[in-house]
């Protein structure tokens, strides 16, 4: 059982690794603009549409190349892109081979100038457009990392990825424009989605299929509300509110490489499965804390079909988890909803929002005991029957 689960787990990550290599060109902006010089002392280098090229990208509007030395703590290689008024960058890639679902992970921060109004960041592709705020309330670093489903393509389709700034107040002269620092594009194929533990009726019950983790960040990946199971950054799960995808390298994770941290009341994750009416099922899962100094008592509501129960997680913020279970019957609907939802809002001492962690969700059908009777029990039964017959003769 354990060996089988480990084999499935490594198959997940092998398929992800082979599917996601080098999709975007210059994703961390390590290759600078054509007329930028490493000896330049300018921390913000304006890009000119007529005389400047940015390797791998095209751009429009007011766009600046940001280098190390600024008051903004830059990612990995010390390079980023500031998208000011009507600033836009885009890149076209080819979705080759098997049809895949594309998940974008990106780091974004506010510009460092004194400002009173936050601009937002808009990410769009042929199948989706979404707007992200840059609030800074989900991490202690100036960078927030988001994961988002951008679409599904294959067979050599050409896909144009656009990232641009969006002013909240057009009348404001003091706007915090977004800075994009690092990106990763992950392609998850249908082959990798179908791989699962045969002892678990749920796909991706361990949350191993999700956004890529950036090497430039140790604070996990935020995922905002996404209403579709098949069009979600977390494969086969709907996102409710805002949750954080945490990795075993930087957080406490009970099983595998990843888990989900619920960041507030009404936030959580939900999936659905077609089940047999009247059959009994057992939902097992782990709840705990991710070792990110998030302490307190957290109430998590778990619902499966018409059954629901609240579980309280006692956390001291140093990393722990406990296994729980919920038994229920299939309700005969076309699909049965299974959800984990936070009922508690909490913040760390530094003001960062945090909450309980969920992992290792396993759904099995309860078939009852099919135990073979022991030989001793059989002999005793036969002896009793023989004695009964003997007394009848007497």
- Mean residue pLDDT of the chain comes to 84
**What distance in Å separates the CA atoms of residue 331 and residue 326, rounded to the nearest whole number?**
15
The domains of the chain, with CATH numbers, are: 1-190 (2.60.120.260), 237-394 (2.60.120.260)
Per-residue model confidence as pLDDT tens digits over 9-25: 444 444 443 344 569 99
pLDDT tier at 78, thresholds 50, 70, 90: confident
- Confidence check: pLDDT of 68 > 80: no
- Confidence check: pLDDT of 141 > 80: no
pLDDT tier at 55, thresholds 50, 70, 90: very high
Nearest to 312, CA basis, from 298, 296, 291 = 298
Q: What is the mean pLDDT of residues 112-135?
A: 83
Q: What is the mean pLDDT of residues 18-38?
A: 80
Percent of the chain with pLDDT over 70: 78
pLDDT tier at 227, thresholds 50, 70, 90: confident
Contacts of 58 by beta carbon, 8 Å cutoff, 6+ apart: 89, 90, 91
pLDDT tier at 134, thresholds 50, 70, 90: confident
Q: Report yes or no: 72 and 109 within 8 Å, Cβ to Cβ.
A: yes
Residue 13: per-residue pLDDT: 42
- Confidence check: pLDDT of 193 > 80: no
- Confidence check: pLDDT of 311 > 50: yes
Per-residue model confidence as pLDDT tens digits over 320-353: 999 999 999 987 767 899 999 999 888 888 888 9
The residue with greater pLDDT, 18 or 175, is 175
Per-residue model confidence as pLDDT tens digits over 207-222: 999 999 998 888 999 9
Q: Report yes or no: 290 and 274 within 8 Å, Cβ to Cβ.
A: no
Per-residue model confidence as pLDDT tens digits over 361-374: 999 998 654 444 44
């Amino acid at each position: 059982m354990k060996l089988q689960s480990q084999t499935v787990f490594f198959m997940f990550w092998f398929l992800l690794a082979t599917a996601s290599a080098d999709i975007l060109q210059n994703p961390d902006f390590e290759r600078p603009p054509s007329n930028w010089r490493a000896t330049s002392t300018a921390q913000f280098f304006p890009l000119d549409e007529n005389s400047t090229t940015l390797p791998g990208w095209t751009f429009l509007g007011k766009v600046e190349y940001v280098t190390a030395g600024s008051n903004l703590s830059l990612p990995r290689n010390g390079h980023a892109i500031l998208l000011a008024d009507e600033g836009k960058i885009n890149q076209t890639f080819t979705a080759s081979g098997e049809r895949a679902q594309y998940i974008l992970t990106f780091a974004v921060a506010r510009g460092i100038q004194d400002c009173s109004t936050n601009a937002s960041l808009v990410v769009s592709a042929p199948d989706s457009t979404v707007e992200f705020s840059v609030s800074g309330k989900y991490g202690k670093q100036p960078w927030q990392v988001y994961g988002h489903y951008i679409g599904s393509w294959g067979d050599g389709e050409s896909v144009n990825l656009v990232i641009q700034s969006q002013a909240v107040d057009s009348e404001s002269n003091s706007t915090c424009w977004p800075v994009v620092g690092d990106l990763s594009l992950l392609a998850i194929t249908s082959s990798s989605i179908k791989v699962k533990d045969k002892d678990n009726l749920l796909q991706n019950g361990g949350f191993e299929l999700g956004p890529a983790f950036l090497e430039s960040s140790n604070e996990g990946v935020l995922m905002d509300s996404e209403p579709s199971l098949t069009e979600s950054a977390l494969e086969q799960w709907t996102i409710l509110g805002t949750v954080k995808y945490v990795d075993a390298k930087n957080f406490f994770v009970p099983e595998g490489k990843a888990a989900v941290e619920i960041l507030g009341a009404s936030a959580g994750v939900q999936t659905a499965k077609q089940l047999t009416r009247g059959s009994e099922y057992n939902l097992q899962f782990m709840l705990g804390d991710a070792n990110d100094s998030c302490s307190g008592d957290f109430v998590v509501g778990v619902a499966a079909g018409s059954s629901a129960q609240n579980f309280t997680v006692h956390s001291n913020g140093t990393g722990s988890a406990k296994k729980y279970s919920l038994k229920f019957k299939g309700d005969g609907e076309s699909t049965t909803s299974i959800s984990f939802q936070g009922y508690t809002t909490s913040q760390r001492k530094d003001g960062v929002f945090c909450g309980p962690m969920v992992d290792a969700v396993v759904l099995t059908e309860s078939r009852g005991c099919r135990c073979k009777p022991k030989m001793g029990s059989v002999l005793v039964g036969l002896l009793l029957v023989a004695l009964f017959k003997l007394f009848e003769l007497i």
